[in-house]
Structure formats: C-alpha cells, structure tokens
Amino acid sequence: MSSHASGTFEVKLTPQTDSADATLGRMTIDKQFHGDIEGTSKGQMLTGMTEVKGSAGYVAIEKVSGTLKGRTGTFILQHTGTMNRGVPQLTITVVPDSGTGQLAGLAGNFTIKIDEGKHSYEFEYTLPESH
C-alpha cells in the first residue's frame, strides 16, 4: 500500500562553468524541504538547451537527508525531464535500494509543482513495515 507525503521546498541552483558549449550546462542543487519531509538535499543537474524556444532537457541526481513522516534516513532521487516546445515532462523516482536508516526499502515517485514562484512536492511512496 502506498503512502502520500507533501510539502514545500526552497531550491538554490548554482551554475558550474566548465563547458565550452553554451547549450550544455551543469548546476549544483541545494534544497531545504518542509512538511512531511523535513531535511535537505544536495545534487547535480545536467542541462541541454536547443535553438528552439521552450525545448530542452535535463537529468539530475540528488541525495535527500532528513525525516519522512518522522522516519530518519537518506535516499536518492533521479530526475529525467524534457521540455518539448513548452510542454514539460518530468519523471522523478527514488533510486532502488538507496534508502538508508529508517528509510531502507523506500520506493516511489516524486512530483514537483511550481505556482507563482513557490515550489511544492507530492510524493507517492512505499516503505516496508518496520520491525
């Protein structure tokens, strides 16, 4: 049976300048989570821009540290996103077997919403019953 978590987060993306190709980018990710997840994450994002306005792609990996509804541990999220002429498609999943501590066995899908500049998340997940 799956569980649901939600809340808000702040994110800071810091461009890393190591590419001679302006269409390719790399950024570090720093997030602060609030709500059902209380904690932080650190990660890396790679981006690919195109000459067509509204078309791009990105992949990212971030490690979340903190609590999920009171259970402490870490887990890794993998992002795969595209923008096709302004139409976004984004998949964010928990990397299998990445959960540690009380989050061991965590699986699920993460959704990000941005409304008037405010970031929020919805997280559908499963966790094995604790012993």
DSSP-assigned states of every residue in 59-109: EEEEEEEEEETTEEEEEEEEEEEEEETTEEEEEEEEPTT---GGGTT-EEE
* Three-state DSSP state, 21: coil
Q: Provide the number of structural domains found in the chain.
A: 1
> pTM for the complete prediction?
0.91
> Residue range 2-16: average pLDDT?
95
Q: Domain range holding 74?
A: 3-126
* Residue 19: per-residue pLDDT: 67
CATH of the domain at 52: 2.40.350.10
- Given a cut of 80, whether residue 57 has pLDDT beyond it is yes
